Structure 1
Amino acid sequence: MRIVFSTGDIHGIGPEIILKSVLSRPSGEDTYVAAGSFKALEFYRDLLGLPVELRRIDGPDAIAKITPEPGVLHVLSVAEPETIQPGTLSRTAGEIAMRSLETAAALCRDGLCDALVTAPLHKEAIALAGYRNTGHTDFLADFFGVSSQIMLFVDPVSGLKVALATIHEPLSKVPALVRAMDLDAFFTTLAGSMRRDFRLDEPKIAVLGLNPHASDGGVMGSEEATVIRPAIERLSGAMQIDGPFPADGFFGAKRYRNYDLIVAMYHDQGLLPFKVLAFDTGINVTLGLPIVRTSPDHGTGFDKAGKGTASERSFLEATKLGATIARNRTQTTE
């Protein structure tokens, strides 16, 4: 598989964890390409003494001729900074991060790469660069013309998977968004992804309630009775899906161990327990795109940038999973 990395904010830990991840994959099964700043990758390689061989790519067409080699990172330069200042907020770094992302996404769209793994970007830096996107997910949705992308979080160590019904939305908007959702289509898409991307023939799905105690029979809200439970009942003959469960008791009693996928109604309901359980190994997967996209479940780490202390574990796991999903999709279509 050909895996392309977007380099993220070059003043953060993105270049470091990319370089370390290449060193941590010694088998040479896959080819690694970085779209971004050659100068930044070279800067951090030399600063941190990381023995990665960097090779420039003249253009996208050259990618098809690359063969896997351990410890080699091929770099397609899309923009170069005048200076590199680890740990600092910069308009230039934000611009390079977004140009890197756009180029990497195009390489996957055009079939030159099989999966995209995105290094962290800084929302304020990309705003300074004039972008209105809040992050990778909505940029990629706009780029591919997709309106129904899904955020899935995966821990490869425990197998825990958490999907979000709503993503980066204020709590005040969540109930109306849930009521307006086509939950049947949403759950069906998730089940299909579990089968295609993760090779789970009969995935077991648990759905969390929206309200405290899953509304306690309507005492604390109506969405469970009017929206969530009816969707689950309609689909129960076609898939293994249960709920809605009170979120606190579900995680407190470790019932998540009995399911392949947990669906949370809003961001913190799903991400708070997930990050408690899988902070160092968690992976973000964007479903609903025409390409494979994964990323580490952490930020730019400005406080660690340039110090050599950043852990590549989450990025490495995202790279492995991106390659696995790409292989699974290829085998499914054969």
Structure 2
Amino acid sequence: MSQKEENIKVGISIGDLNGIGCEIILKCFEDSRMLEICTPIIFGNSKPLSYAKKAIESSTNYQGIDRLSQVINEKVNVYNVWKESLNINYGENDPLIGKYAIKSFVAATEALKNGEIDVLVTAPINKYNSQDDDFKYPGHTDYLNKQLEGDALMLLMSDELKVGLLTDHIPLKEVAQHITIDLIRKKTKILNKTLIQDFNILKPRIAILGLNPHAGDDGVIGTEEIEIIKPAVQKLNEEGILISGPFPADGFFGSETYRHFDAVIACYHDQGLAPFKALSFGQGVNYTAGLNKIRTSPDHGTAYDIAGKGLADPSSFREAIFVALDIFKNRHYNAEASQNPLQPQEKDLSTKKSDN
């Protein structure tokens, strides 16, 4: 393994300081073995981490740095994005705190763009208090899609299930008008490429869910399946992509049909995330697929109700780091393989003399 791979730099945005972000970060790196596989760089400030460390009695040690060139490999680094002190009130929805969560995220994204970190793992933010004149995005994914190369696809994943979304943070009443044949083809191709490039699945099997109850019941409950989804599936099949459906969402998960596929496409946010979280909550990872850089996050929010009490489970955050590292390695190996294909060897057809 190269030096680059041994010291994969994991940038971490600190999240909402009144939530559980600092707690799950600290708990994650209490296990020193994490530092054997990556070098974490937390974008924020040492003071809220110290406050959280005292509140939950964490054993994690870290060093503050003022420039990314000061990073020490295999240590927990805290890059001071701001200097001022902030009033931390666990469980409080505070717009000022929301602005600092975005400062952390924007700085980490810039470092990701510039190659100063290899992957980005984001702690949870509050979508409401993070909105201001400089940041008008409904979440991390939309901002990353604007800043990075490619087309983003929100992909929730666990060991058992991968769910991609045709539409994500839009009102339910607007979903139907957004779903088109072109959108289905675009998102499916992104997902197919992701499964090959990032997860080494050579011939992915993809399922797509119907928009309406019972997948429309042959037009009785809706016609989107007949007029949009089925034609898109047919076109994708003709292009060599193995996609099946549309499936009725309730029966698809209830009968565990999802186990026969490498990934599932849901038409809207809760259609995919409700069953995903029922099956995998606390162990799942949100991966922003389709971009030239890698970003993951845990599958939960700020959890104001338990913030500062030492009750937060770092499992999903830890898994988000593992997934980011695995995808980085897969992309690295695949890029090397494509640049250095095996050269055919000429066979020696000469007849060798016998020693007899």
Structure 1 gap ranges (5+): none
Residue 141 in structure 1 maps to residue 138 in structure 2 = no
Match of 2:22 among 15, 26, 29: 15
- Residue by residue over 1:8-40, the C-alpha shift from the partner in whole angstroms, topping out at 9 and shown as x without a partner, is 011110000011111235151111110012111
Match for residue 201 of structure 2? 200
Residue 151 in structure 1 maps to residue 159 in structure 2 = no
Which letter maps to 2:245? Answer: G
Q: Offset at 1:288?
A: 2.5
Would you say the 8 A contact 2:148–2:293 is kept in 1? no
Q: Secondary structure at the match of 2:130?
A: helix
| Distance in structure 2 (CA, Å) of the matches to 1:164 and 1:25 | 36
- Residue by residue over 1:62-105, the C-alpha shift from the partner in whole angstroms, topping out at 9 and shown as x without a partner, is 33xx322xxx4100011243322211122321111001001111
| Distance in structure 2 (CA, Å) of the matches to 1:318 and 1:187 | 23
Match of 1:257 among 237, 259, 265: 259
Which letter maps to 2:123? Answer: A
Q: Offset at 1:240?
A: 1.8
Question: Rg: which structure is higher?
Answer: 2
Which letter maps to 2:298? Answer: P
Residue 212 in structure 1 maps to residue 220 in structure 2 = no
Q: Offset at 1:213?
A: 1.1
Q: Offset at 1:111?
A: 0.9
Match of 2:98 among 72, 94, 108: 94
Q: Offset at 1:279?
A: 1.0
Match for residue 61 of structure 1? 69
Q: Secondary structure at the match of 2:195?
A: helix
Which letter maps to 1:224? Answer: E
Which letter maps to 2:222? Answer: G
Which letter maps to 1:82? Answer: L
Match of 1:46 among 54, 60, 63: 54
Q: CA RMSD in A?
A: 1.7
Q: Offset at 1:129?
A: 8.0
- Residue by residue over 1:203-243, the C-alpha shift from the partner in whole angstroms, topping out at 9 and shown as x without a partner, is 11011111111111122222111211112112224122111
Which letter maps to 1:231? Answer: A
Would you say the 8 A contact 1:247–1:269 is kept in 2? yes
1:1-334 to structure 2, matched below 5 A, reads 1-24=8-31, 26-27=33-34, 28-63=36-71, 66-68=72-74, 72-79=75-82, 80-127=84-131, 131-144=135-148, 148-156=151-159, 159-179=160-180, 181-237=182-238, 238-334=240-336
- Residue by residue over 1:148-203, the C-alpha shift from the partner in whole angstroms, topping out at 9 and shown as x without a partner, is 321100013xx200011011111221111002643222211110000111111111
Query: What TM-score do you get using the length of structure 1 for normalisation?
Result: 0.93
CA change 1:128–1:183 in 2 (3 A) is: closer
Would you say the 8 A contact 1:94–1:128 is kept in 2? no
Query: What TM-score do you get using the length of structure 2 for normalisation?
Result: 0.87
- Residue by residue over 1:268-302, the C-alpha shift from the partner in whole angstroms, topping out at 9 and shown as x without a partner, is 11111111101111111112322100001111011
Size of the alignment, in residue pairs? 326
CA change 1:203–1:328 in 2 (3 A) is: same
Q: Offset at 1:112?
A: 1.4
| Distance in structure 2 (CA, Å) of the matches to 1:183 and 1:263 | 9
Identity %: 39
